[in-house]
């Protein structure tokens, strides 16, 4: 078997399959799982793979390219334009300040200013792969921390374009003319003005092709109804753009990102997303594994102290710079911490840059290796730091934030006996209605950017996760009489119901539900007040349909009211029947079976306008019939 | 010319032969407003301001409804409770409806003969309508005798047509102001002034 392809594939895949679920189980996120898998199979622990890890890393970097294409797909041009100030303001200051600080320290440590600058640049970069993957997993992309992180990463991707071009000019041109010696093709051989022209032309090509060629092509391919052909086209788009970008010396990630943004408005958006998602996931996983495998434990052992100090210093410096930038941009403390710690590692681009620097003998081989070790180590440590942040720091920060609210509430002697969890569309309307009638509910929500706004509007808002007993306690669950659960996710609602039933048994629960299935689950939990969000609306629409068809409004209205009553009763009956059903029936089949039962019972008892109230016709018929009998 | 407002309340119009026929005959005139309460307020949530405004704009108000359990359907009562506000329709300063004319137009299932001390309804229609009369009185309105379509269960189509024609005459007289107010004390039902064509 040896080191055949299949053997390698088995090693990588099994490492991933074993380590990632374990990491997830301990709430460490997939990134850390892959990194650990890489370390385990790497040359220094189990030795399944040797130093080819670095080559695999280059290949797997393509996962980052794909990820940016997918991110582009989710970002419409208008939105990108909206965050341009963040990208330039926050991104530029992060790159410049971090580079400057690292460079200053490098010079103080008696490095050549050129190498100090190069190291500074390399360390300023963060890992797009790690950060975006973690943010997505935690659902933070839409939060301020997520948006800021994204802006910084995007700017870094733009910034790496000139760095390989500038660095040799700046650093090496006065010494040697080495830049020409490795120009093995591509546009580096062209004169400068032509290079610039080529870059602009490439961007133009992407925009034009994205606008006018890709969508018609995809339409044609979609017509063939061959799924694999569509997948192939999706891959072709990404690979072709990456190639074009490489030819003109631009970052492939940036090019595919641009293409993604252009295709964000097309009808194939979701199709492309679902086709590329598995490739992206696998390649990113491979990338993280190869990062883990490339960590040189021998070197680290030999220079344990230096590597440790350097790694800590880099993370510390990056985090502080980011934190100050976040603070200046008025991020709230908790969001700022996520932003600063999240981006504190050194990114994958540093590997490329260090091997570049190393090949020009500006640093000794040992120094280069050490810098690479620091990079890899920082990539491993930052997910751990995020866990620490998530588990121990953020709850305290948020508790402090909540304490202010509690104090304020105490000061104005306001004790709300209604607690509202979830402040989305549903919760907002509900809270507005209640407040318009003098019932000011205490709101609990875990989207922190809303909190300040809501406080200004006079709501008592607590920021936090309502599935946690201490947060519910802090929000006054023990004193409140009614708890409204209005979160969008039925699973979360159910989880809260269970927790509340256990810890606050006296609290009356009123809960929003999405459909019949989660209503059944809530009924099983013994919840009485369940509000299916679609029920009233769909009946209301139906009543209006009847009106438009010429039914009397009052009859249609009563038919609607009756149907709701009947449906609620039928729901409870079916809920009981459902318990008797055999367990092996899958959810979907169960749903169909119940739907069928429901439609049948509709046919038997149709609660419509066909009741006898005020039916003078019936009365008249009876009277005339009696009259006729008398005559006989 | 007078402006006539027909306040109509029937919870089950689609089943009412008598009222459907009557409504079909309402002349389409600019000064006759037909106002269908059950169609507008199925939830009984009456828009008081709109209703008050409507009353102010008209001179003659008609309460048209079936005679259910010796009274009007509940939405009509709801309308009275909500719209005839204290300080506006009655009580100190409550003069908004002063001198306007008001009366009932009703369909009754039973024949007129049953509405007297000997009949099984035991009281006259006038006696049953006392609450309306007194309401009008409190609101300083002139209360006219009712217009009735009685015995509606046994009415033939021809008889119903005759009532409809009377109703047209009534509405025409009211809207044109060609009725003698002094006669209102003499007659028992408004039908009496609608016997022959105008």
CATH number of residue B148's parent domain? 3.40.50.360
Above 60 in pLDDT, residue A409?
no
| % of chain B residues with pLDDT over 90 | 89
Q: What distance in Å separates the CA atoms of residue A244 and residue A206, rounded to the nearest whole number?
A: 9
Q: Which residue has the higher pLDDT, B38 or A359?
A: B38
The pLDDT value given to residue A176:
37
Q: How sure is the predictor about A449, in pLDDT bands with cuts at 50, 70 and 90?
A: low
State chain A's mean pLDDT as an integer. 79
The pLDDT value given to residue B21:
94
CA angle A527, A505, A526 (to 5 degrees): 20
- Burial readout B146-161 (b: 16 or more C-beta within 10 A, e: otherwise): bbbbbbbbebeeeebe
* CA nearest to A309, candidates A379, A377, A393: A377
Which residue has 């374990």 as its token pair? A22
Model confidence pLDDT, tens digit, residues A304-338: 888 889 999 999 999 999 999 988 888 888 888 88
- Burial readout A276-301 (b: 16 or more C-beta within 10 A, e: otherwise): beebbebbbbbbbbbbbbbbbeebbe
pLDDT (average), residues A252-268: 81
The pLDDT value given to residue A137:
77
Q: What distance in Å separates the CA atoms of residue A267 and residue A259, rounded to the nearest whole number?
A: 14
* CA nearest to A594, candidates A563, A571, A567, A612: A571
Q: What distance in Å separates the CA atoms of residue A19 and residue A13, rounded to the nearest whole number?
A: 10
- Please state the CATH superfamily assignment of the domain spanning residues A413-616 in this structure: NAD(P)-binding Rossmann-like Domain (3.40.50.720)
* CA nearest to A368, candidates A293, A303, A289: A303
User: What are the strands, taking DSSP E only, across A493-629?
Assistant: 508-513, 529-532
Q: Which residues of chain B does A553 touch, with a Cβ-Cβ cutoff of 8 Å?
A: 38-40, 42
Count of CA atoms in the C-beta half-sphere (13 A) of A367: 13
Q: Is the pTM of this model over 0.95?
A: no
Strands B4-8 and B60-66: parallel
Residues of each domain in chain A carrying CATH 1.20.1530.20: 5-396
Q: What distance in Å separates the CA atoms of residue A403 and residue A463, rounded to the nearest whole number?
A: 10
Subunit contact A616:B18, Cβ cutoff 8 A: yes
Cα distances (Å, whole numbers) of residue A325 to A96, A145, A148, A341: 12, 12, 10, 13
Model confidence pLDDT, tens digit, residues B139-188: 999 999 999 999 988 899 999 999 999 999 999 999 999 999 999 999 99
What six digits make up the tokens of A201? 């032309």
The pLDDT value given to residue B3:
97
Among A552, A554, A622, A623, the strongest candidate for a mutation testing the B interface, having the largest count of B CBs within 10 A, is A554
Among B15, B43, B157, B160, the strongest candidate for a mutation testing the A interface, having the largest count of A CBs within 10 A, is B15
pLDDT (average), residues B102-124: 93
Q: Are B104 and B65 in contact (CB under 8 A)?
A: yes
Cα distances (Å, whole numbers) of residue A530 to A441, A468, A558: 19, 22, 22
Q: How sure is the predictor about A603, in pLDDT bands with cuts at 50, 70 and 90?
A: low
What DSSP character marks residue A179? Answer: G
Q: What distance in Å separates the CA atoms of residue B11 and residue B15, rounded to the nearest whole number?
A: 9
Q: Are A400 and A464 in contact (CB under 8 A)?
A: no
Q: Which residues of chain B does A556 touch, with a Cβ-Cβ cutoff of 8 Å?
A: 42
Phi, psi of A297 (to 5 degrees): -70, -30
The pLDDT value given to residue B39:
95
Q: What distance in Å separates the CA atoms of residue A83 and residue A34, rounded to the nearest whole number?
A: 32
> CA of B39: which chain A residue's CA is closest?
A553
pLDDT (average), residues A592-611: 63
| % of chain B residues with pLDDT over 70 | 98
Please give the residue range of the domain that contains residue B32: 4-194
> CA of B153: which chain A residue's CA is closest?
A620
CATH architecture of A5-396: Up-down Bundle (1.20)
Q: Which residues of chain B does A613 touch, with a Cβ-Cβ cutoff of 8 Å?
A: 11-12
DSSP state letters, A478-490: TT-SEEEE--S-H
* CA nearest to B197, candidates B162, B148, B145, B147: B162
The pLDDT value given to residue A111:
79
Nearest-CB residue to A619 (from B10, B40, B109): B109
pLDDT (average), residues A128-148: 81
Cα distances (Å, whole numbers) of residue B149 to A414, A527, B64: 61, 54, 11
Q: How close does chain B come to A615, measured CA to CA in Å?
A: 6
The pLDDT value given to residue B118:
92
Chains A and B: how many Cβ contacts under 8 Å? 57
Residues of each domain in chain A carrying CATH 3.40.50.720: 413-616
Subunit contact A555:B68, Cβ cutoff 8 A: no
Asked if A559 has any chain B CB less than 8 Å from its own CB, the reply is no
The pLDDT value given to residue A408:
47
Of A29-33, A238-242, A599-603, minimum mean pLDDT range: A599-603
The pLDDT value given to residue A193:
67
Query: Considering its fold, how many domains does chain B have in total?
Result: 1
Above 90 in pLDDT, residue A44?
no
Q: Which SS3 state, helix, strand or coil, does residue A406 take?
A: helix
Above 70 in pLDDT, residue A410?
no
Subunit contact B13:A627, Cβ cutoff 8 A: no
Q: What distance in Å separates the CA atoms of residue A239 and residue A403, rounded to the nearest whole number?
A: 52
Cα distances (Å, whole numbers) of residue A358 to A124, A518, B74: 18, 59, 92
Beta bridge partners of residue B4, listed in sequence order: B32, B60
Contacts of residues A14-18 at CB distance under 8 Å and 24 or more positions apart, as own/partner, are: A15/A40, A15/A41, A15/A48, A15/A289, A16/A285, A16/A289
Asked if B188 has any chain A CB less than 8 Å from its own CB, the reply is no
Nearest-CB residue to B12 (from A615, A620, A623): A615
């Amino acid at each position: 078997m040896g080191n055949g392809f299949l053997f390698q594939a088995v090693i990588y895949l099994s490492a991933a399959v074993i380590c990632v679920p374990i990491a997830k189980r301990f709430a460490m996120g997939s990134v850390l799982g892959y990194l650990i898998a890489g370390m385990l199979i790497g040359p220094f622990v189990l030795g399944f793979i040797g130093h080819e890890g670095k080559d695999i890393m280059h290949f797997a970097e393509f996962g980052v390219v794909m990820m940016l294409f997918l991110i582009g797909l989710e970002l419409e041009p208008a939105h990108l334009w909206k965050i341009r100030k963040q990208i330039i303001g926050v991104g530029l200051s992060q790159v410049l300040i971090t580079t400057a600080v690292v460079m200053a320290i490098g010079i103080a440590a008696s490095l050549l200013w050129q190498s100090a600058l190069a190291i500074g640049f390399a360390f300023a970069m963060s890992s797009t792969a790690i950060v975006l993957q973690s943010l997505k997993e935690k659902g933070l992309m839409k939060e301020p921390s997520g948006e800021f992180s994204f802006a910084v990463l995007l700017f870094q991707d733009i910034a790496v374009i000139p760095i390989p071009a500038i660095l040799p000019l700046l650093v090496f041109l006065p010494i040697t003319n080495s830049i020409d010696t490795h120009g093995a093709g591509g546009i580096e051989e062209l004169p400068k003005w032509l290079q610039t022209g080529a870059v602009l032309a490439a961007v133009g090509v992407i925009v034009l092709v994205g606008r006018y060629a890709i969508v018609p092509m995809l339409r044609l391919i979609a017509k063939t109804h061959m799924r694999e052909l569509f997948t192939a086209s999706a891959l072709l788009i990404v690979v072709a753009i990456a190639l074009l970008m490489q030819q003109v010396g631009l970052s492939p990630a940036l090019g595919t990102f641009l293409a993604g943004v252009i295709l964000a408005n097309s009808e194939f958006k979701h199709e492309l997303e679902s086709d590329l998602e598995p490739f992206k996931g696998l390649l990113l996983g491979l990338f993280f594994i190869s990062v883990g495998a490339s960590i040189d434990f021998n070197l680290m052992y030999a220079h344990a102290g230096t590597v440790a100090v350097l790694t800590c210093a880099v993370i510390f410096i990056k985090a502080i710079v980011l934190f100050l930038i976040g603070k200046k941009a008025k991020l709230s403390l908790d969001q700022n911490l996520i932003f600063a710690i999240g981006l504190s590692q050194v990114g994958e681009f540093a590997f490329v840059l260090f091997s570049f620097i190393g090949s020009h003998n500006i640093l000794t081989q040992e120094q280069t290796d050490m810098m690479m070790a620091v990079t890899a180590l920082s990539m491993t440590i930052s997910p751990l730091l995020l866990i620490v942040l998530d588990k121990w720091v953020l709850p305290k920060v948020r508790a402090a934030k909540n304490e202010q609210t509690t104090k304020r509430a105490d000061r104005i002697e306001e004790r709300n006996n209604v607690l509202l969890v979830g402040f989305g569309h549903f919760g907002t309307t509900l809270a507005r209605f209640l407040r318009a009638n003098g019932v000011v509910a205490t709101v609990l929500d875990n989207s922190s950017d809303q909190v300040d706004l809501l406080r200004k509007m006079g709501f008592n808002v607590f920021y936090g996760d309502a599935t946690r007993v201490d947060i519910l306690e802090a929000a006054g669950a023990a004193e409140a009489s009614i708890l409204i659960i209005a979160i969008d996710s039925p699973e979360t609602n159910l989880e809260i119901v269970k927790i509340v039933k256990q810890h606050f048994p006296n609290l009356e629960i009123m809960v929003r539900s999405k459909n019949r299935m989660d209503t059944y689950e809530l009924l099983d939990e013994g919840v009485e007040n369940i509000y299916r969000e679609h029920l009233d609306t769909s009946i209301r629409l139906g009543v209006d349909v009847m009106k438009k068809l010429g039914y009397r409004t009052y009859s249609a209205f009563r038919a609607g009211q009756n149907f709701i009553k009947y449906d609620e009763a039928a729901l409870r009956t079916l809920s009981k029947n459902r318990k008797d059903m055999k367990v092996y029936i899958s959810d979907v089949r169960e749903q169909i079976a119940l739907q069928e039962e429901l439609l049948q019972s509709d046919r038997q008892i149709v609660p419509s306008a066909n009741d006898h109230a005020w039916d003078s016709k019936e009365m008249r018929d009876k009277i005339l019939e009696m009259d006729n009998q008398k005559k006989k | 010319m007078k402006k006539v407002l027909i306040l109509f309340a029937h919870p089950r119009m689609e089943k009412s032969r008598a009222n459907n026929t009557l409504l079909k005959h309402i002349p389409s005139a600019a000064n006759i407003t037909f106002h269908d309460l059950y169609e507008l307020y199925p939830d009984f949530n009456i828009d008081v301001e709109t209703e008050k405004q409507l009353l102010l704009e008209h001179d003659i108000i008609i309460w048209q409804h079936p005679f259910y359990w010796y009274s009007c359907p509940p939405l009509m009562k709801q309308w009275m409770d909500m719209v005839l506000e204290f300080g506006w329709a009655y009580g100190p300063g409550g003069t908004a409806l002063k001198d306007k004319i008001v009366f009932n137009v009703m369909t009754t299932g039973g024949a007129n003969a049953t509405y007297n001390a000997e009949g099984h309804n035991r009281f006259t229609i006038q006696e049953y309508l006392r609450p309306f009369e007194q309401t009008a009185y409190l609101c300083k309105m002139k209360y006219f005798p009712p217009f009735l379509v009685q015995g509606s269960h046994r009415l033939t189509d021809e008889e119903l047509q005759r009532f409809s024609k009377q109703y047209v005459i009534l509405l025409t007289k009211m809207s044109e102001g060609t009725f003698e107010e002094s006669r209102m004390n003499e007659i028992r039902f408004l039908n009496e002034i609608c016997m022959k064509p105008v």
